Amino acid sequence: MAVSAEAAPDAKAGTGEHAPRARRGARWRTSLTFWCFVAPFLIGLLVFTVIPVVWSAYLSFFDATNTVSPTPEDFVGFGNYTAMLTDPAFQDSLITFSVFAAFIVPVTFACSLGLALMLNRVRLMRAFFRSVFFLPFACSYVVAALVWKMSIFNGVRYGLANTVLDLFGVDEIAWLFRPDPPWFWLVIVSLRLWIQVGFYMILFIAALQQIPQHLYEAAYVDGAKPGRQTFWHITLPQLRATSVAVLMLILIAAYQAFDEFLLLVGTMPSARPPLVYLYQTSLGMQQELGTGSAGALILALLIALVTLLQGKFLGFGNSEER
Amino acid sequence: MTIEIKRKSPAGRRRGPGTRGGGAVNFLGLSVLSVLFLIPFYLILRNALSTDAEITAPGWMWFPVAPAWENIEKLFTDPSVPMARALLNSALVATLTTVGTLFLCATAGYGLARIPYRHANKVFYLVLATLMIPGAITFIPSFVMVSSLGWISDLRGLVIPTLFNGFVAFLCRQYFLSFPKELEEAARVDGLGYWGAFWRIVIPNSGNFLAAIAVITFVGSWNSFLWPLVIGRSPDSWTVQVALSTFLTAQTVSLSQLFLAALVAMLPLLFVFLFLQRFLVQGVAQTGLKG
DSSP characters over A126-157:
HHHHHHHHHGGGGS-HHHHHHHIIIIIS-SST
CA-to-CA dists, residue A116 to A203, B23, B170, angstroms:
9, 15, 28
Phi-psi map region of A77: left, alpha, beta (phi>0 left; psi -120 to 50 alpha): left
CA B68/CA B188 separation, integer angstroms:
63
pLDDT, residue B135, reads: 67
Residues from chain A contacting residue B222 (CB–CB below 8 Å): 140
pLDDT over threshold 50, residue A14: no
CA A307/CA B128 separation, integer angstroms:
16
CA B43/CA A136 separation, integer angstroms:
13
Q: Which residue of B has its CA nearest to A203?
A: B285
CA A273/CA B291 separation, integer angstroms:
24
Q: Which residue of B has its CA nearest to A67?
A: B144
Task: Using the CB atoms, write b or e for A90-128: b if 16+ within 10 Å.
Answer: bebbeebbeebbebbbebbbebbbebbbbbbbbeeeeee
pLDDT, residue B195, reads: 87
Distance from the Cα of B22 to chain A's closest Cα (Å) equals: 10
pLDDT, residue B21, reads: 59
Distance from the Cα of B137 to chain A's closest Cα (Å) equals: 6
Q: Within chain A, how many helices (H) and strands (E) appear?
A: 15, 0
CA B41/CA A127 separation, integer angstroms:
19
pLDDT, residue B221, reads: 94
User: Between B122 and A180, where is the model more confident?
Assistant: B122
Mind spelling out the 3-state secondary structure of A181-220?
A: CHHHHHHHHHHHHHHHHHHHHHHHHHHHCCCCHHHHHHHH
- Report the residue of B164, B217, B233, B247 to disrupt the A interface, i.e. the one with the largest count of A CBs within 10 Å: B164
Three-class secondary structure of residue A288 per DSSP = strand
State the pLDDT confidence band at B6, using cuts at 50, 70 and 90.
Answer: very low
CA-to-CA dists, residue A70 to A15, A57, A293, B18, angstroms:
47, 13, 13, 69
pLDDT, residue A289, reads: 84
CA A45/CA B131 separation, integer angstroms:
11
Across A32-41, B133-142, B174-183, B276-285, the highest mean pLDDT is recorded for A32-41
- Under an 8 A CB cutoff, do B137 and A296 touch? yes
- Report the residue of B6, B20, B30, B128 to disrupt the A interface, i.e. the one with the largest count of A CBs within 10 Å: B30
Task: State the ipTM, two decimals.
Answer: 0.84
Q: Rounded to the nearest 5 degrees, what angle is found at the Cα of B176, between the Cα atoms of B175 and B179?
A: 95
High-pLDDT (> 90) share of chain B, %: 32
pLDDT, residue B161, reads: 92
Q: Which residue of B has its CA nearest to A320?
A: B290
Cβ–Cβ pairs < 8 A, chains A and B: 323
Residues from chain A contacting residue B15 (CB–CB below 8 Å): 120-121, 208, 216, 226, 230, 235
* pLDDT tens per residue, range A102-161: 889 999 999 999 999 999 888 888 889 999 999 998 899 999 999 998 888 877 777 787
CATH superfamily of A89-319: MetI-like (1.10.3720.10)
| Pick from A50, A118, A208: CB nearest B29 | A118
Q: Which residues contact A113 (CB under 8 A, 6 or more apart)?
A: A200, A204, A239, A243
Q: Rounded to the nearest 5 degrees, what angle is found at the Cα of B201, between the Cα atoms of B200 and B203?
A: 80
- Report the residue of A27, A32, A49 to disrupt the B interface, i.e. the one with the largest count of B CBs within 10 Å: A49
pLDDT, residue B289, reads: 57
CA-to-CA dists, residue B226 to A81, A154, A246, B55, B244, angstroms:
24, 24, 23, 30, 13
Residues from chain B contacting residue A37 (CB–CB below 8 Å): 107-108, 110-112, 115, 194, 198
- Under an 8 A CB cutoff, do A142 and B143 touch? no
High-pLDDT (> 70) share of chain A, %: 90
pLDDT, residue B288, reads: 63
- Under an 8 A CB cutoff, do A33 and B195 touch? yes
- For chain A, which residues make up each domain, given as ranges? 89-319
Domains in chain B with CATH codes: 20-68 (no CATH), 75-290 (1.10.3720.10)
pLDDT over threshold 60, residue B9: no
CA-to-CA dists, residue B21 to A96, A214, B28, B113, angstroms:
44, 25, 11, 52
- Under an 8 A CB cutoff, do B11 and A216 touch? yes
- Under an 8 A CB cutoff, do A30 and B115 touch? yes
